[in-house]
Amino acid sequence: MTSLTRMSAAFSKWTAEILGHPALMVTLVLGPFLVLLAFGQGVEVNGPRPRTLIVEPAESAGPIQPLPDELNDHIKVVGQTRDVAWAREQLRQGKVDAVAVIPPDPMTAIENGERVPIQIAINEIDPVNRGWANAYLNDQVAELNQRTIAKAITEAQGSLGDIQKGVDQARPLLDALRNGQGDLQLARTQLQQIETLLDPIAVAVNNANTALRGASFVIPGLSRTSDQSEKLQRSLDDLRSNVQRINQTLGSGNGSLPTPQEIEDIDRQLQDLTETAAAVQDIPPDVLSAPFKLDLDNVAPTAPTFTAFYSPAVLALLLQHLAITLGALSMARVRSLNLMDLLRVAPVRASELVAGNYLSYGLICAFASAVLVGLTVLLLNVPVLGSYAALAGGLGLLVACSLGVGFIVAMLSRSEQQAAQVAMLVLLASVFFSGFIFGIDRISWPARVISFALPSTYAIRIFQDVMLRGLVRHPSDFAVLGAAAVVLFVASVGLFRRELGRA
């Protein structure tokens, strides 16, 4: 009971010290939440729509041509010019986000077997924005390539109408041949006319095969388009071979009229050409040019907003900084009040003083944690899909570890300014290395050692899992925080005992 009394005395002393300053309590609780609120509501993460200046080739004749309206779906066109130097100066001064130079003669480059360069200039020093712009612009170029292929396929498919036209012209000749009265010369003339019609049909078939090969090139082994291409070419080859064979028979010395079966074979082959061409035309060009589409299945239980996703991480950083700052300034407060000499002669152990400090500051941090979590859930609409007990456990372990770090900083610092500076350094390290900005897996060794030395690293994963996933994917985080809290408590007691033992 004596030890408990001494510990409660230290607890009461430091609790009264904090509660005696209501303005400080308001700052401790509402200050972090206002920071969290401002962060969540003040930052927007939307897809880029850069202000772009279009530069047409200087050698272009006539007035500048208007751009298609759909271009503004991807970029914000702010003007057009033919002066590249002026456009780049506008970019340098920050009046536009990008300058796009239209290639002067794209067809010449394509005919020479070269890609057409689309020159886009940006003025960006932020590496994140620079990478974002590069990915976005590459995506737009890929879409432009896809549209170009789709247009070419559309033109190729349009020529399939020539197949139907040729077949329609051949059918009356075939019907006349079928209904002929044995005139050998007339039959030969009709077959020659049919053979002549096969040339434009062959051109149309070749165009259709070009479109189909485009799809099978993108998707090797795509059976449907490959089968249709082969069937179309096979029908044409069989038809041409059959007509030529009958023609040769008619032109021979003992020529005879084509049999009904031979005429029916020609009719069937014309019908095959028509049906296959119609099937090819049924495939939309945009499917042939871009056969794959993304069907993303997000198995996460929720799709949090930007504010909701970062709120658990900001909560962890704020609580860690609050606890470390309170702990770090505690010993400086003791020294400023000249209480160390009094504590040296008092009948109290170092462990009792440290435990009292833990309880007093821990109670304050626990109250602040409860209020912050409540405000986050109620005002920012951040869900808690998992167990509140797990969330409370994570909060308690984070506060215990952070207080331990703060007390050790207090023991090793010689002034309030030094303690505050160290606490700020810990916060700065936490912002960059705890997974707040980048995931831990994107931090390479040995810098990742810093990440695993910070309590907020484990707390952020716990809070995000419990609040946004509904389960804890890294149960070891609780064990690490618990073990760290014990080690830091023991280290705090040892350092405090050393401080009391000094003459």
Run means of pLDDT, 10 residues per run, the chain, 503 residues: 54 55 62 67 62 76 54 70 87 86 72 72 76 71 71 66 74 72 69 75 72 50 55 76 75 67 78 73 67 73 83 89 83 62 57 78 86 86 90 94 90 78 87 84 85 93 92 92 93 80 53
Distance (Å) of CA 424 to CA 202, 320, 406, 427, 459 = 78, 11, 11, 5, 18
Q: Residue 2: in which H helix or E strand, if any?
A: helix 2-19
Residue 113 is classified by DSSP as: T
Question: How many beta carbons lie within 10 A of that of residue 286, not counting itself?
Answer: 15
Tell me if residue 79 falls in helix, strand or coil. Answer: strand
Residue 469 is classified by DSSP as: I
226-260 pLDDT, tens digit each: 566 677 777 777 777 777 777 777 766 565 667 77
Distance from C-alpha of 56 to C-alpha of 167, rounded to nearest angstrom: 46
For the entire predicted model, the pTM comes to: 0.66
Cα 351–chain centre separation: 51
Domains and CATH numbers, the chain: 2-43+307-501 (no CATH), 51-156 (no CATH), 157-289 (1.20.1440)
Residue 59 is classified by DSSP as: T
pLDDT, mean over the chain: 75
**Furthest-apart CA pair in the chain: how many Å?**
137
Contact call for residues 91 and 99 (beta carbons, < 8 A): yes
Number of C-alpha atoms within 13 angstroms, CB side, residue 475?
1
Distance from C-alpha of 444 to C-alpha of 451, rounded to nearest angstrom: 10
For 58, phi then psi, to 5°, come to -65, -30
Distance from C-alpha of 154 to C-alpha of 179, rounded to nearest angstrom: 39
Tell me what pLDDT residue 391 has.
93
Tell me if residue 380 falls in helix, strand or coil. Answer: coil
The tokens describing 151, both together, are: 């247009």
18-49 pLDDT, tens digit each: 555 566 566 666 666 676 667 666 665 555 67
The tokens describing 472, both together, are: 């804890």
Distance from C-alpha of 82 to C-alpha of 86, rounded to nearest angstrom: 9
Residue 80, strand partner residues: 54
Tell me what pLDDT residue 219 has.
43
The tokens describing 371, both together, are: 């209020």
Tell me what pLDDT residue 414 has.
75
Tell me what pLDDT residue 265 has.
78
Contact call for residues 317 and 431 (beta carbons, < 8 A): yes
Contact call for residues 300 and 39 (beta carbons, < 8 A): no
Distance from C-alpha of 394 to C-alpha of 402, rounded to nearest angstrom: 12
